Structure 1
Amino acid sequence: MTPSPSVWNTAPTSAPAQRKDRYAPGSSAHPAKMLPAIAAHAIRTHTQPGDLVLDPMCGIGTTLVEALHLGRNALGIEYEPKWATLASLNARTAAQDCGGTETGIVHCGDARHLTELAPPATRGKVDLVITSPPYGPSVHGQVRSTRESGESGVIKKNFRYSHDRANLAHVPTAHLIEAFTEILAQCRTMLRPGGTAVVTTRPWRERGELIDLPSAVLTAGRTAGLIPTERCVALLAGIRNSRLVTRPSFFQMKNVRDARRQGIPLSAVQHEDVLIFTKPVTRTGKPCPRKANSTCPKALSCRTCPLRTRRRDS
């Protein structure tokens, strides 16, 4: 597998163009879909054909669809029944279109109980976790003109996950990070030793204050026992003649203009932060029981290491 470049050119075409003919009607209504090219780039870089890809917060199943089209197996967990049903449909369609032996499975439930929801045979066998936590609504949503109804202006639609207050999209940031740390810890259990976790996210502003979600996710990954290895940029803008071709939403631009009128130097976000982690391994290929959050450099030579004790006694 080749090293990942620090900047991923993942938006040569628009998001609708990337999803064309691969996703069932209704998929576009999800408020925070991962860009298909981001998922595809991560899958190509960090897996081989036949590997298992997991998304514990899979939404409409973007990561599953892209994994299946690249000859990988896919497993998704989704909290909202509506989106879980759609993700399952998208995964089944992708598997049929590919005509291979790969499978795409979706389970509905809370990702904090991932190891209970996932098939037992997949525990410790996942090669790549790729996901994105829910974040602020300022960049979500679509625009519908109201002129046809005799009114002027626009209204926002498809900017809510649901009205379920237990959905992590609705909880305060501190609670979200705590819950996402639990999810990453579950993902660590699902990953094989040396497996990779890719998390895409971005900062946002709330009442003028910057919410640095990428840095919080980095800390969450460490706390969950994963090792940070890379921090990359996945473009949401295209590149043409060495210039960025920006594609901000109507509400992104509105938020930027409103902020600048208030003296806040806000700019439209044109990238996702990509945080890459690995599951630690020892020289035996087993997770170190003494150092859950780092690679043990003294595997089997450390006098107090249970792995060493078991090997000596055997």
Structure 2
Amino acid sequence: MSESVLPSVLATGQLQSRVQRQGRYVAESMRHPGKMLPSIASQIISAFTEPGDLVVDPMCGIGTTLVEAVHLGRHVAGMEYEADFAALTAANVQHARSQGAAGFARVACGDARNIATVLGDLQGMAALVLTSPPYGMRTHGHVQCGSREGGGPVKKSNHRYSTNKGNLAHQRLPQLMEGFGQILAGCRELLQPGGVVAITIRPIRVDGQLVDLPGQVIETAEAAGLVLTHRLAALLCGLRDGRLINRASFFQMLEAWRSQEKGQPVCAAAHEDLLILRIPKPSPRSR
């Protein structure tokens, strides 16, 4: 795939997330509640980089961006606030290397608002920054019913990013966007001329109200000195015989059903917005 033929809708949900990761990631990786789909990462890395290029993820979680990049022969650098997830990133990269992945990787544990300092030796070297901000301290996570028939109590697990109050996931939306803006400004310093920032993000509901989080991210990125060039859709559902195959979680479906019972036209998310941004070219007068 090349940027010139990049479709506006990417078929990234043809396989379930767990199938995309099976054998490619260590089993412990599944406990992270907000993982990027590997197929999203691989398609974007293929479209905007070449083998040997540097890819950076400032909020790398369990390392999806890094794993898919090293399998494609790219070199990678990632930061992760949570020490246990940073360790999982390192384990996943090592697992990829054991499977023949050719790229080299560097993982740092720390606050990505300081990424320009922590990875200062990489200034001006990154072809691509690919990441996704946290959606809050709680996500849908995993669910287990009390019986095979679905009766009994519902137990949730792996639905928190962190218990560390310093994590941006614990901040209210304005503070989250402010912190994410600082991260993007730092990443801008790592980009080479013509480099790309790709962000996956979807709308969220806060107290039942739909919040245009992609729009807020665009405003935040533009304030950090980036310019939006593409707004694409990365499918979370599958396509089969002209029909959509829903892969929404139990809690996404439950939220949609409850809203529909109240007469509200709410549907489960079937895609993520994929925002493609660049550093603006200098105007002729400024040269």
Give the TM interval when normalised to the shorter protein: over 0.9
SS, match of residue 134 in structure 2: coil
Q: Name the TM-score, length of structure 1 as normaliser.
A: 0.87
Between the aligned partners of 2:147 and 2:243, the Cα distance in structure 1 is 35
Match of 1:51 among 29, 49, 53: 53
AA aligned to 1:165 is K
CA separation of 1:29 and 1:14: change in aligned 2, threshold 3 A: same
2:213 equivalent in structure 1: 213
AA aligned to 1:296 is S
Between the aligned partners of 2:44 and 2:212, the Cα distance in structure 1 is 23
SS, match of residue 22 in structure 1: coil
Between the aligned partners of 1:259 and 1:157, the Cα distance in structure 2 is 24
2:143 equivalent in structure 1: 143
The Cα of 1:140 is off from its aligned counterpart by 2.3
- Which stretches in structure 2 are left out of the alignment for 5+ residues? none
Q: Is 1:185 aligned to 2:172, yes or no?
A: no
Q: Deviations over 1:110-133 (max 9, x none)?
A: 010001221x33111000000000
Contact 1:68 1:98 in 2 (8 A): no
Between the aligned partners of 1:78 and 1:136, the Cα distance in structure 2 is 16
Between the aligned partners of 2:139 and 2:247, the Cα distance in structure 1 is 12
CA separation of 1:238 and 1:99: change in aligned 2, threshold 3 A: closer
AA aligned to 2:256 is V
1:22 equivalent in structure 2: 24
Q: Deviations over 1:242-272 (max 9, x none)?
A: 1111111101111111222233221000100
Q: Deviations over 1:141-161 (max 9, x none)?
A: 11112349xx81311111101
Between the aligned partners of 1:72 and 1:99, the Cα distance in structure 2 is 9
The Cα of 1:136 is off from its aligned counterpart by 4.4
Q: Deviations over 1:80-135 (max 9, x none)?
A: 001000001111221232253x21111000010001221x3311100000000011
AA aligned to 1:219 is E
SS, match of residue 233 in structure 1: strand
Q: Deviations over 1:47-72 (max 9, x none)?
A: 00000000000000000000001110
1:84 equivalent in structure 2: 86
Between the aligned partners of 1:269 and 1:254, the Cα distance in structure 2 is 12
AA aligned to 2:110 is G
Task: Name the count of aligned residue pairs.
Answer: 283
CA separation of 1:133 and 1:74: change in aligned 2, threshold 3 A: same
AA aligned to 1:235 is L
SS, match of residue 234 in structure 1: strand
AA aligned to 1:117 is V
Contact 1:204 1:211 in 2 (8 A): yes
CA separation of 1:188 and 1:99: change in aligned 2, threshold 3 A: closer
2:285 equivalent in structure 1: 298
2:249 equivalent in structure 1: 249
AA aligned to 1:298 is R
* 1:8-157 mapped onto 2 (5 Å cutoff): 8-98=10-100, 100=102, 102-118=103-119, 120-136=120-136, 140-147=140-147, 152-157=152-157
1:171 equivalent in structure 2: 171
SS, match of residue 98 in structure 1: coil
SS, match of residue 298 in structure 1: helix
The Cα of 1:26 is off from its aligned counterpart by 1.2
Between the aligned partners of 2:280 and 2:195, the Cα distance in structure 1 is 8
AA aligned to 1:190 is L
1:203 equivalent in structure 2: 203
Contact 2:227 2:277 in 1 (8 A): yes
Moved over 4 A (4+): 136-139
Contact 2:137 2:162 in 1 (8 A): no
Between the aligned partners of 1:2 and 1:194, the Cα distance in structure 2 is 13
- Which stretches in structure 1 are left out of the alignment for 5+ residues? 282-294, 301-314
After the TM superposition, which of the residue ranges 89-98 and 265-274 deviates more from structure 2? 89-98
After the TM superposition, which of the residue ranges 77-86 and 204-213 deviates more from structure 2? 204-213
AA aligned to 1:69 is H
SS, match of residue 284 in structure 2: coil
The Cα of 1:166 is off from its aligned counterpart by 1.4
Between the aligned partners of 2:138 and 2:231, the Cα distance in structure 1 is 24
